[in-house]
Amino acid sequence: QVQLAESGGGSVQAGDSLTLSCAATGSTVRYTMAWFRQAPGKERIFVGGISWDGNGPNYADSLSGRFEISRDNSKEPLVLQMNNLKPESTAVYYCAGRTGRTSTPQTDDYRCWGKGTQVTATS
């Protein structure tokens, strides 16, 4: 079974950039991959996703233009480039995978989840 593990989280100043990576045990070449995040006391929400062929990346409306999602199945299944981080970006970020063709914002659509990596952006 596919297992996912996020890395790259940390504490940064607001306005800084950070890159998260998601490593996989098992093949994710037929998985649509996505990032979600969850702040303390809040629901886990969709950040962005990308299809297994690398096409059609999409993002939450509030994050489009600041975050960029990509994948390279020969290296890492999923990468999230975060630019201009804001205090409200602070959350645990999760890598997730589903067998569907497109990324969706519903957590229940995703079969595999990593344990998360903490991102903290301080003003």
Look at residues 83, 88, 89, 52 and name the one whose alpha carbon lies nearest to residue 68.
83
**Whole-number pLDDT of residue 88:** 93
Instruction: Work out the angle at residue 74's Cα, subtended by the Cα atoms of residues 73 and 79, and round it to the nearest 5 degrees.
Output: 50
Residue 47 to residue 90: CA distance in whole angstroms: 12
Let me know: does 80 contact 88? Beta carbons within 8 Å: no
Query: Helix-strand-coil percent breakdown of the chain, rounded to 5?
Result: 5, 50, 45
Q: What are the pLDDT digits (tens) for 65-109? A: 889 999 877 777 799 999 999 999 999 999 999 998 889 999 999
**Whole-number pLDDT of residue 13:** 97
Partners of residue 80 on adjacent β-strands: 20, 69
